[in-house]
């Protein structure tokens, strides 16, 4: 693609269907999710009841074709609904994002027809929960440093998987899992002789009800506390060869392709959190009085409002650009890495800025758990870490621009 093609204006059309979707999801989120968000945040309990309701609305597989149990809508629909769910509660949007972007997309793009029918349908419909596992205790941003291993048994019928994965969103309740691990030549292959090359990584579809799979402790997190996260352990887990996703050794490509989509979802989540904090701050600035006038009449508060709004709308523009890049890239069999990374980077940092300013505008009340501002502040922090830290996003963007892919 030449420079002129890269820089040509991009646009999106919000259809009547999109408008109706926004209103329906907003009404649902504010009625069903917002009233219980603080309760689930406090307890850390997984919100299975409301997640099932999201599934009934088609939100857990919104981009998946109807033949696989999804809603058959587009990326814009996914983003718009992610924003509305995140405004009500970031934890619910995290669960939705993993289901859609990280689990279902990988199978849709790389799976066989049999795998799509078996592995997408129950998760896209919300009947079951999907998860995605790439990170390990010693390999976060450095995916090539994995120590988990899978080797083919003597019969050639199953891969035997051993190892420990960490920070797996929805792991404590997941029914199905997209797993990325190193394929080794033999069970005695060590961490060193199996190699660290990215080409050794293979993707597997995992049924968590089978022997050899267990879950570690649930992580006590700072934010998105209702989105359960834990380690998972494989102890001679037998995975049928027909459950290899894509080709053996293609796992790194699959993982990174899926993360492109996931980063758009996290950008939308961050934008939703920022919008919720901004709207609360705007209302408070209009109503709260100090020195005989609403605090919003003072220039220092007005500056904060202006900066918050500008970052939100700039982030929205980057998300829309990433959506169009994704649709165009998928049609051509290409990647949209730069656009996805820019959207994720900017929106996650905008969410941090906006929630901090919103808390400052609220003063002491913003620091109290009686208001949702402190929850927005805590929830926003993770968006700069998961699915690629801000540092990784900057590295990815720079390397893409310099041709160092």
| 329-375 tens-digit pLDDT | 988 888 999 999 999 999 999 999 999 999 999 999 999 999 999 99
Residue 191, pLDDT above cutoff 70: no
Report the candidate in 340, 352, 378 with the shortest Cα–Cα distance to residue 271.
Answer: 352
Residue 388, pLDDT above cutoff 90: yes
User: For residue 192, what pLDDT is reported?
Assistant: 47
Residue 81, pLDDT above cutoff 90: yes
| 104-118 tens-digit pLDDT | 999 999 999 999 999
Q: Tell me the pTM.
A: 0.93
Residue 9, pLDDT above cutoff 70: no
User: For residue 52, what pLDDT is reported?
Assistant: 96
User: For residue 333, what pLDDT is reported?
Assistant: 83
Mean pLDDT of the chain: 93
For each of the domains in the chain, give its residue range(s) and CATH number, in order of start: 3-129 (1.10.540.10), 132-250 (2.40.110.10), 252-402 (1.20.140.10)
User: For residue 2, what pLDDT is reported?
Assistant: 47
The residues annotated as belonging to the active site are 387
| 90-148 tens-digit pLDDT | 999 999 999 999 999 999 999 999 999 999 999 999 999 999 999 999 887 777 789 99
pLDDT band at residue 11 under the 50/70/90 scheme: low
């Amino acid at each position: 693609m030449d420079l002129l093609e890269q820089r040509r204006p991009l646009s999106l059309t919000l259809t009547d269907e999109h408008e109706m979707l926004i209103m329906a999801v907003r009404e649902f989120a504010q009625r069903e999710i917002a009233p219980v968000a603080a309760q689930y945040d406090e307890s850390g309990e997984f919100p299975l009841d409301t997640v099932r309701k999201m599934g009934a609305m088609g939100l857990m597989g919104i981009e998946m074709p109807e033949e696989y149990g999804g809603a058959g809508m587009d990326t814009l629909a996914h983003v718009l609904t992610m924003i509305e769910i995140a405004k009500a509660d970031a934890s619910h949007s995290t669960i939705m994002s993993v289901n859609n972007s990280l689990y279902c997309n990988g199978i849709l793009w790389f799976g066989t027809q049999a795998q799509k029918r078996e592995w997408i349908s129950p998760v896209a419909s919300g009947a079951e929960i999907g998860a995605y596992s790439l990170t390990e205790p010693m390999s976060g941003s450095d995916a090539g440093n994995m120590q988990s291993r899978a080797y083919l048994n003597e019969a050639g019928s199953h891969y035997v998987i051993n190892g420990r994965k960490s920070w797996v969103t929805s792991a404590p309740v997941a029914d199905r899992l997209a797993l990325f691990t190193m394929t080794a030549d033999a069970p005695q292959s060590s961490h060193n002789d199996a190699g660290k090359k990215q080409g050794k990584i293979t993707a597997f579809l995992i049924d968590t009800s089978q022997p050899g799979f267990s879950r570690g402790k649930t992580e006590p997190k700072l934010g998105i506390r209702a989105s359960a996260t834990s380690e998972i352990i494989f102890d001679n887990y037998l995975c049928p060869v027909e459950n290899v996703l894509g080709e053996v050794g293609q796992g790194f490509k699959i993982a990174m392709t899926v993360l492109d989509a996931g980063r758009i979802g996290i950008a939308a989540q961050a934008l939703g959190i920022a919008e919720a904090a901004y709207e609360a701050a705007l209302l408070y600035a209009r109503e709260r009085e100090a020195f005989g006038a609403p605090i919003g009449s003072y220039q220092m508060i007005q500056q904060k409002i202006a900066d918050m709004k500008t970052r939100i709308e700039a982030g929205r523009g980057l998300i829309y650009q990433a959506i169009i890049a994704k649709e165009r890239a998928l049609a051509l069999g290409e990647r949209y890495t730069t656009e996805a990374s820019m959207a994720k980077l900017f929106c996650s940092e905008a969410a941090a800025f906006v929630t901090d300013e919103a808390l400052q505008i609220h003063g002491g009340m913003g620091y109290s758990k009686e208001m949702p501002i402190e929850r927005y502040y805590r929830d926003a922090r993770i968006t700069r870490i998961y699915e690629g830290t801000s540092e990784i996003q900057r590295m990815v963007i720079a390397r893409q621009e310099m041709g160092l892919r």
